[in-house]
Structure 1
């Protein structure tokens, strides 16, 4: 069975960006060791939407 997940690959943020993300995250705190902040170019937004739509369509079948 598939995990029903979408995986992202991106660049690691610099220390300043990482700290800013943690300070403004809705989670209010540090990123857990099991998670990561990644940088994805804005030009990838249409591809991300398409991937999310594909997962949703698969779940409706």
Structure 2
């Protein structure tokens, strides 16, 4: 796995900072964020999406990143698609 660092939340200090990377080998975004609480997980699990099974699969997680980091996932998308360097 070849991770490319995109950015880290500048407002969270030295520990546990939400972070964005791109796995350039797979063309996937890799996100580190704050763990969600049970209420948010339940809300996400109950959300109905046409053609998709309800719930959160055991191998998946709901995370949070602050809105101030929005530019980082945008940049990561461009890198993953090969349109941004």
Relative to the length of structure 2, the TM-score reads: 0.59
* Secondary structure in structure 2 of the residue aligned to 1:32: coil
Bigger relative CO (Cα 8 Å, ≥ 6 apart): 1
Relative to the length of structure 1, the TM-score reads: 0.79
Could you list the per-position Cα deviations for residues 30-50 of structure 1 after superposition, in whole angstroms to 9, with x for gaps in the alignment? 101111111111111111001
Q: Report the number of matched residues.
A: 58
If each structure's helix is expressed as a fraction of its own residues, which one has the higher value? 1
For structure 2, list consecutive stretches of 5 or more residues without a partner in the other structure.
2-24
For structure 1, list consecutive stretches of 5 or more residues without a partner in the other structure.
none
The CA RMSD measured in Å over matched residues stands at 1.8
Question: Aligned equivalents of 1:31 and 1:48: distance in 2?
Answer: 22
Structure 1's consecutive aligned runs of 4 or more residues displaced over 3 angstroms after TM superposition are none
Output aligned runs, 1:1-61, within 5 Å.
2-26=25-49, 27-57=52-82
